[in-house]
Amino acid sequence: MYRIESSGALLKAHRSLVSRRGRPRVSGTVLLLGICSLLTDISSEMVAAVLPLYLLTQLGFTPLQLGIVDGLFQGAAAFVRLVGGYIGDRRRRHKGIAAFGYGVSAVCKLALAVVGSGFGAIATIVAIDRSGKGLRTAPRDAMISLSSRREDLGTAFGVHRALDTTGALIGPLVAFGLLALAPLAFDSLFVVSFCFALAGVGVIVLLVREPERTPSPAEIAEPVRLRAAMALLRGGRFRALFVAAAALGLATTSDAFVYLALYRSLDLDATVFPLLFTGTALTFMVLAAPVGRLADRIGRGRVMLGGYVLLLGVYATLLGPAAGVPGMVVTLFMLGAYYAATDGVMMAFASAHVPEALRGSGLALLGTAVSASRLCASVLFGALWTWQGIETALAVFAGALAVAIVVAGLALRSSRA
């Protein structure tokens, strides 16, 4: 079995992922969805890397307004995620819903260039953009899980997230290059972002195939209903993960606030700000696949909780005395490792305990819990920053995360993935 090498030849290396029996660990569908996500994430992270600075320094938003917009960026998907998962399950077709979601987000990148500078207009476009993400996420993850063997779910999601995060690494670099060539040319940046998003839509529409799955006679006789998806919450393992994810999400601040805290403490130049995102993305890209494989072997719940311990370490370094560039490197590394241990691993955990017929709806339920809790967390962090300062906000969230890790550990004790 070949090893994964996280390098410029990432896709070529992923093609070599085979099991001892010669069967692919990672299917072509997963790889193509990863390429689609790579292109889309270049687009999204170009915008995400400059949006906090753009709103605060160019449009004059307050930290509370930034918190609201960032909350929408993080959590607006929660309100439509269930729709995408449910429709995909009911029609037993996930590709069309995912492609539509990618298309909505692509159009919104272009809209940012023409919508103006009003708070309401910006917030609306961000909400629509994230709604597109909400529509596509559960169907996309359902296609990943339905194209993979149960024992390889962590690996499959890890490979997808590695490709996805390659885009998250490239996006801020493109943003940095564009702003270095044309400072404050945000409109041009939004147009270039749209072009990358459009290429991602082309990949899923033209190249990705719907996973083949033969429905059971019971599924044919009784179409999927929403109450069947909600009934998943009565299952012990899935319910435990749902509770754990919601509790942890409420204590998870947005990356934007982490980067702004580093920006302030190091007194960085504005043009360098997008590069902070690349440190996190590089770590995530390198670790996503091997950490996913580790989770398959030792338990996905354990790895996920370990990731949140790393996030607690991020809060601790930001609250400690200024450590200069070395402290920044450690902070960005821990943040990237946190994502590697939680993002795909959580979806792999859930996929192992959700029936195939309800895969999209089940993953959407979990994603809704995470997105809604993070929306609340972003608004709360922004309010605390405005009211008492960023140090107080970080201290409150550090304490809350420590409690949430204990609550999640107790909830997951009876569940083993």
pLDDT of residue 254: 82
220 belongs to a structural domain: no
**Contact predicate 359/150, CB 8 Å:** no
The structure tokens 């859930």 sit at 350
Structural domain total, the chain:
1
pLDDT of residue 78: 66
174 belongs to a structural domain: yes
68 belongs to a structural domain: yes
**Contact predicate 196/43, CB 8 Å:** yes
Tell me how far apart the 2 most distant CA atoms of the chain are, in Å. Answer: 64
pLDDT of residue 47: 85
pLDDT in tens, 334-392: 999 999 999 889 988 888 888 877 887 788 888 888 878 887 888 898 889 888 888 89
Domain encompassing residue 130: 25-210+228-412
User: How far apart are alpha carbons 227 and 273 in whole angstroms?
Assistant: 46
Amino acid at 115: V
User: How far apart are alpha carbons 36 and 115 in whole angstroms?
Assistant: 26
Provide the CATH number for the domain around residue 372.
Answer: 1.20.1250.20
Amino acid at 147: S
Closest CA to 138 of 361, 358, 341, 357: 361
280 belongs to a structural domain: yes
pLDDT of residue 28: 87
For the chain, residues with pLDDT lower than 70 are 1-24, 57-60, 67, 70-79, 116-118, 213-226, 228-229, 235, 270-271, 274, 322-323, 414-417
16 belongs to a structural domain: no
Q: How far is CA 38 from CA 44, 60, 136, 174, in A?
A: 10, 32, 14, 13
260 belongs to a structural domain: yes
pLDDT of residue 185: 75
pTM equals: 0.74
**Contact predicate 84/98, CB 8 Å:** yes
15 belongs to a structural domain: no
373 belongs to a structural domain: yes
DSSP per-residue letters across 101-139: HHHHHHHHHHHHTTS-S-HHHHHHHHHHHHHHHHHHHHH
